[in-house]
Amino acid sequence: MSLAVPLSNPDITDLERQAVLEVLSSNRLSIGPHTEAFEAAIAARAGRKHGIAVNSGTSGLHLCVKALGLHEGDEVITTPFSFVATTNCLLFERVTPVFVDIDSASYNMDPAAIEAAITPRTKALLPVEVFGNMEHFDAYERIARKHNLLLLEDCCEALGGVHQGRPAGNFGQCGVFAFYPNKQITTGEGGVVVTDDDGIADMCRSLRNQGRDTSAWLSHAYMGYNYRMSDITAALGEAQATRLDEIVAKRRHVAQMYHDALAGVAEIHCPPMAEPASASWFVYVIRLADKFSRSQRDALMQHLKDAGVGCNPYFVPIHLQPYVMKLLGTHEGQFPITEHLAERTMAIPFFANMTPEQIQRVVATLKEGIGRLSH
Ligand SMILES: *Cc1c(COP(=O)(O)O)cnc(C)c1O
């Protein structure tokens, strides 16, 4: 059944449709000119020298972990309040994720908690701009420099955002963007690694293409992967990238409409955003007031779903995912701020082309659902 108001909806126009059709009429469906053009466009947005297109954000993160030389026995400090890919890219290489709690004002890793978690085995920080909020990224970079640590930026949720004059993707040694259909711009599936480091770029280019020697096609220097992006996909991304400013502005406007419509609803906290004027919104995640329980949040989500309004818990903490608990021995109670917030947060419909009527419908359904909770 299709929802009256979906959770997300990509912003695709005739420009994108035309771009894809042109590739289909050419004879270069992979390793073609659009891949390079898309890489250049994304690298430029991040203020970086190199862009390396891959088939998903997760693949990009995995390549960065390899290119940074991280391996078994190394510890990387990361956030439990994210999508599982942030942790999986470490687990793929038997690198130990060390979770630290978040700061309730931004939902990003608490800088003080990072400093407290550093050990002689710590090799890198892996922070995330949660929901597009870039707060603390300057502090993460300072901490990394001070302790001689690498910094890998999981900027999969922040394309187009700017923090203290610097774009998302510009922090640390390298960063990774993702292009699943709920992201700011989409390629269906896809990712791009960005970096200024020639060595990291060369290694990512080789590893995404079966570990090929970049000069000789049938010579394989490393055991690599097929993480390539097709040129069909890249052409879609290239066209989307030309519309990034427009899409980011539309999403900012939708966030503002939500803020205004929810301002008088005492039971709901609007999502935090450090620099609203230069923010790039990924999702719109509301939080129920502290007096509500997880089961009340779940009842509210059911009310929305019954009314045809998309919603999802965002995020279920990574350290409480069954396979992570089994693998790392993590458990409830370890990260109280993350757990407290995660029990009360939920993503509501959010996309560039949302209409004021759709916003009103979501907000009215939310108010109605909250009214039922207190009775
Ligand atoms: C979207 C996202 C990714 C990558 O997702 P893919 O589906 O592999 O493209 C990684 N980290 C975060 C925080 C994300 O939101």
Instruction: Please provide the DSSP assignment of 181-232 as one string.
Output: TTSSS--SS-EEEEES-HHHHHHHHHHHBTTB-SS-TT-BSS---B-PPBHH
Residue 235: phi and psi, rounded to 5, are -65, -40
Q: Is the CB of 175 under 6 A from ligand 1?
A: no
Residue 227, pLDDT above cutoff 80 = yes
Q: Which atom of ligand 1 is nearest to the CA of 56?
A: 9
Cα–Cα distance for residue pair 26/32, rounded to 1 Å: 10
End-to-end CA gap in the chain:
30
**Is residue 170 helix, strand or coil?**
coil
Q: Quote the ligand 1 centre to 87 CA distance (angstroms).
A: 11
Q: Quote the ligand 1 centre to 190 CA distance (angstroms).
A: 9
Q: Quote the ligand 1 centre to 27 CA distance (angstroms).
A: 31
Q: Is the CB of 86 under 6 A from ligand 1?
A: yes
Q: Is the CB of 128 under 6 A from ligand 1?
A: yes
Q: Quote the ligand 1 centre to 283 CA distance (angstroms).
A: 13
Radius of gyration of the chain (CA): 21
Residue 348: phi and psi, rounded to 5, are -115, 165
Query: Whose CA is closest to 34, among 50, 49, 53?
Result: 53
Task: Name 99's bridge partners.
Answer: 78
Q: Which domains does the chain have, with CATH numbers?
A: 14-101+109-242 (3.40.640.10), 244-373 (3.90.1150.10)
Residue 2 has what pLDDT? 64
Residue 215 has what pLDDT? 77
Cα–Cα distance for residue pair 36/32, rounded to 1 Å: 7
Q: Is the CB of 230 under 6 A from ligand 1?
A: no
153-200 pLDDT per residue, tens = 999 999 999 999 999 999 999 999 999 999 999 999 999 999 999 999
Question: Where are the strands (E) in the chain, listed by range?
Answer: 50-54, 75-78, 96-99, 122-126, 150-154, 162-163, 166-167, 174-178, 191-195, 268-269, 284-288, 345-348
Residue 3 has what pLDDT? 73
Residue 218 has what pLDDT? 80
Question: Considering the entire predicted model, what is its pTM?
Answer: 0.97
Average pLDDT over the chain reads 96
Query: Whose CA is closest to 315, among 184, 131, 192, 101?
Result: 131
